[in-house]
């Protein structure tokens, strides 16, 4: 019976690359404007931001509906100023949110690639370990056969 030649451990060690922290690499590659877009995306996508906008809307509309006519600055039912400000917020936030989401998507993609790389490396190492174990089993069988004779 011919013994399998396992992959040399030295070869496996040579092929090893240092572990990468993809989160740090991603943050280091971002420009200041991209960091700002991610910061905005992370803040705007929260319940806190929703409650701020919701409260502001309720206060604005409530004041302009129920306040005395001489104190109402954005008359019911048009609320032209409120619509203008709301639209400006949307127009300014929309591109920033899309940019931030694109950057977060690229980050997720890079993390997935790094995870795949790590899993592939682990699979190669496990295959090497299994080959070594199989080789050891074969050697032990050969030794056992020789001792039994």
Residue range 49-69, pLDDT digits in tens: 999 999 999 999 999 999 998
Query: Would you say 1 and 138 are in contact if contact means Cβ atoms under 8 Å apart?
Result: yes
Residue range 96-116, pLDDT digits in tens: 899 999 999 999 999 999 999
Provide the percentage of residues in the chain whose pLDDT is more than 90: 60
Round to whole Å and give the CA distance between 122 and 130. 12
Residue 129 belongs to a domain: no
Provide the percentage of residues in the chain whose pLDDT is more than 70: 92
What is the tally of structural domains in the chain? 1
Residue 59 belongs to a domain: yes
Residue range 19-52, pLDDT digits in tens: 778 888 888 999 999 999 899 999 998 999 999 9
3-state helix, strand, coil in the chain (%, to 5): 80, 0, 20
Residue 131 belongs to a domain: no
Query: Would you say 3 and 127 are in contact if contact means Cβ atoms under 8 Å apart?
Result: no
Residue 93 belongs to a domain: yes
Residue 2 belongs to a domain: no
- Tell whether pTM > 0.75: no
Residue 5 belongs to a domain: no
CA proximity to 40, closest of 94, 84, 91, 83 = 94
Residue 69 belongs to a domain: yes
Which residue range forms the structural domain that includes residue 105?
12-119
Residue 85 belongs to a domain: yes
């Amino acid at each position: 019976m011919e013994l399998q030649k396992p992959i040399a451990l030295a070869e496996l060690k040579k092929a090893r690359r240092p572990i990468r922290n993809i989160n740090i690499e991603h943050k280091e590659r971002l420009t200041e404007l991209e960091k700002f877009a991610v910061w905005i995306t992370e803040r705007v996508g929260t319940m806190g931001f929703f409650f701020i906008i919701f409260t502001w809307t309720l206060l604005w509309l409530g004041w302009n509906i129920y306040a005395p006519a001489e104190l109402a600055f954005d008359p019911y039912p048009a609320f032209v100023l409120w619509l203008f400000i709301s639209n400006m917020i949307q127009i300014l936030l929309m591109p920033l949110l899309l940019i931030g989401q694109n950057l977060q998507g690229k980050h997720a993609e890079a993390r997935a690639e790094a995870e795949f790389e790590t899993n592939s490396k682990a699979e190669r190492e496990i295959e090497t370990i299994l080959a070594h174990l199989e080789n050891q089993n074969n050697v032990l069988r050969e030794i056992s056969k020789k001792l039994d004779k």
